[in-house]
């Protein structure tokens, strides 16, 4: 038998892909079992319920998102570039063939009303992202009010790209971000 950590990881990864592609409620635990290659009995020994698995998947997504953001920002040479790198990261993501919007936003829309655990996990992720943006804004020396504006642009780009099915929202949001940063830095806004 494979060890607990490996099994858990396999289940979360399989569920993540299925949930993201088809939506959470459209995926039965049988499908997760098949995709993960882990028996239902084992899955239910690792997670008390589907709800708990959903939350684990959201946490997994958070890790991936944070890592992707960190990697993209490493290439940036200035604080300003590090902010704009967010939108380059989004652009690359939107172009992936299986891009289907932000999993957190999607899951919140689907289950946020009925599962407070899901709502909490999503809110937590968004809060972390906003804090990340706030740190970058502080680094660049702009007023703190700029941060939520940039975060809203990033959120809006994600839903716009998801619904339209095209990636151009990333560079539109990036252009807006550049304007907002420049204005904030020169005190005009």
What, of DNA, its own copies, none, does residue 72 touch, CB below 5 to 8 Å by kind? Answer: none
Coil, helix or strand at residue 98: coil
Q: The tokens of 132 are what?
A: 């990340």
Question: What residues contact residue 135 under an 8 Å CB cut-off, 6+ apart?
Answer: none
Please state the closest distance from residue 108 (CB atom) to DNA, in A. 18
Q: Does 101 bind its own copies (CB under 8 A)?
A: yes
Query: Is residue 35 part of the contact set for DNA (CB under 7 A)?
Result: no
Q: Which residue, 38 or 115, is less far from its own copies as judged by CB?
A: 115
Q: How far is the CB of 98 from DNA (least distance, A)?
A: 20
Decide if residue 17 touches its own copies (CB under 8 A).
no
Compare residues 41 and 188 and give the one whose CB is closer to DNA: 41
- Contact flag: residue 172 with its own copies (CB under 8 A): yes
Taking CA 33 as the corner, what is the angle to CA 18 and CA 60, rounded to the nearest 5 degrees? 50
CA distance 17 to 80: 33
Q: At 61, list the tokens.
A: 């997504």
69 binding DNA? (CB under 7 A): no
Tokens linked to 128: 């972390």
Positions in the binding site for its own copies (CB under 8 A): 21-23, 25-26, 100-101, 104-114, 119, 122-123, 126-127, 145, 148-149, 151-160, 162-165, 168-169, 172-173, 175-176, 178-180, 182-183, 188-189
């Amino acid at each position: 038998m494979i060890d607990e950590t490996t099994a858990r990881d396999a289940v979360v990864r399989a569920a993540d892909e299925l949930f993201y592609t088809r939506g959470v409620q459209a995926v039965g635990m049988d499908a997760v079992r098949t995709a993960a290659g882990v028996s239902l009995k084992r899955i239910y020994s690792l997670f008390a319920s589907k709800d708990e698995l959903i939350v684990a998947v959201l946490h997994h997504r958070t890790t991936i998102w944070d890592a992707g953001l960190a990697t993209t920002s490493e290439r940036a040479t200035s604080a300003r570039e590090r902010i704009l790198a967010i939108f380059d990261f989004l652009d690359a993501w939107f172009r992936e063939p299986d891009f289907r919007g932000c999993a957190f936003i999607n899951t919140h829309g689907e289950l946020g009303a009925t599962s407070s655990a899901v709502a909490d996990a999503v809110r937590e992720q968004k809060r972390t992202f906003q804090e990340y943006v706030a740190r970058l804004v502080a680094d660049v020396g702009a007023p703190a009010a700029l941060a939520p504006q940039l975060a809203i642009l990033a959120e809006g780009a994600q839903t716009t790209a998801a619904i339209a099915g095209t990636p151009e929202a990333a560079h539109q949001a990036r252009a807006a971000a550049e304007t907002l940063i420049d204005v904030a830095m020169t005190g005009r806004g």
